Amino acid sequence: QKKQSKPTKDSPMRPHSEHPKDHAAKRLSSASNGTSDGGAGAKTPVEITALEESFRRFAIHGDTRATGRDMNGKNWSKLCKDCGVIDGKSITLTDVDIVFSKVKNKTARTITYSQFKEALAELAGKRFKDKSSEDAAQEVYRMIEGKSPVISGVTKAVASPTVSRLTDTTKFTGSHKERFDETGRGKGKAGRVEMVDKSGYVSGYKHAGSYEKKVSKSPQKPM
């Protein structure tokens, strides 16, 4: 009977239930869901508030490489405009730009979510001067919660007398006139290149093909 070899201290055996690849996947999943392996209630995902959800929607707007963790100045201005934070009186676009430059890091071009809330608190004091700083901030939060970037529609063409005059084919002259027929429809290649008439008729003859029709219709006399 053979004796079982005991594991040495230098090479401890790994449990069969925990493969190295499985452990790495579990760690990545925990990091993406905002959880960790230790601590009380560690497996509970971090809930995102409605305000942070709107922050992320505007942060990734127009940028496929954005992660949603920080926001540039352009999207910050759009958020304030689309959500009605800018009223044109107490808060203008200039105020929004000044606050953005104030809260961001000196060399950074974006702001984080915490800096975003700090900027909103700055604007809230100007927008709701008759309320406390906390109540004013909550009012601004409610204006943004659940909102998404407004996508502008297709610009409609406006009828212009100048454009109408330039596109009216009946008023074209010279070689441009030859490129369109009486209905204004383009002639294609025939309107751009001088086509050679190989029918055998003289130029301008209007009864081309009439002789063939008469001959085909006339009855043949018996021989």
Q: Is the dihedral angle over the CA atoms 11, 12, 13, 19 positive or is it negative?
A: negative
Q: Is the dihedral angle over the CA atoms 165, 171, 177, 180 positive or is it negative?
A: positive
Backbone angles phi, psi at 119, to 5 degrees: -65, -40
Report residue 28's pLDDT band, with 50, 70 and 90 as the boundaries. very low
Taking the C-alpha atoms of residue 120 and residue 79, their distance in angstroms, rounded to an integer, is 11
Q: Is 72 helix (H, G, I), strand (E, B) or coil?
A: strand
Is 81 a residue whose pLDDT tops 80?
Answer: yes
Taking the C-alpha atoms of residue 180 and residue 169, their distance in angstroms, rounded to an integer, is 7
Is 161 a residue whose pLDDT tops 90?
Answer: no
Report residue 179's pLDDT band, with 50, 70 and 90 as the boundaries. confident
Tell the residue number behind the tokens 């954005």, with chain if given: 66
**In a 10 Å sphere around its CB, with 0-12 CB exposed, 13-18 middle and 19+ buried, how is residue 149 labelled?**
middle
Taking the C-alpha atoms of residue 165 and residue 181, their distance in angstroms, rounded to an integer, is 17
The H-or-E segment that residue 101 falls in is helix 93-103
Question: Tens of pLDDT along 42-68?
Answer: 454 567 899 999 999 999 998 888 899
Instruction: Look at 68-77, 90-99, 158-167 and tell me which has the smallest mean pLDDT.
Output: 158-167
| Across 171-181, average pLDDT | 70
Angle at 159 between CA 157 and CA 161, to 5 degrees: 145
Of residues 37 and 202, which shows the higher confidence score?
Answer: 202
| Strand ranges (E), the chain | 70-72, 110-112
Q: What is the pTM of this model?
A: 0.50
| Helical segments of 11-91, H only | 20-32, 50-59, 73-82
The percent of residues above 90 in pLDDT, for the chain, comes to: 42
Is 21 a residue whose pLDDT tops 50?
Answer: no
Torsion angle (degrees, nearest 10) of CA 155, 160, 166, 167: 60
- DSSP 8-class letter at 47: P
Q: Is the dihedral angle over the CA atoms 57, 58, 60, 62 positive or is it negative?
A: positive
Is 154 a residue whose pLDDT tops 60?
Answer: no
**In a 10 Å sphere around its CB, with 0-12 CB exposed, 13-18 middle and 19+ buried, how is residue 85 labelled?**
buried
Question: Tens of pLDDT along 87-137?
Answer: 988 999 999 999 999 999 999 999 999 999 999 999 999 999 999 999 999
Of 11-20, 50-59, 175-184, 211-220, the range with the highest mean pLDDT is: 50-59
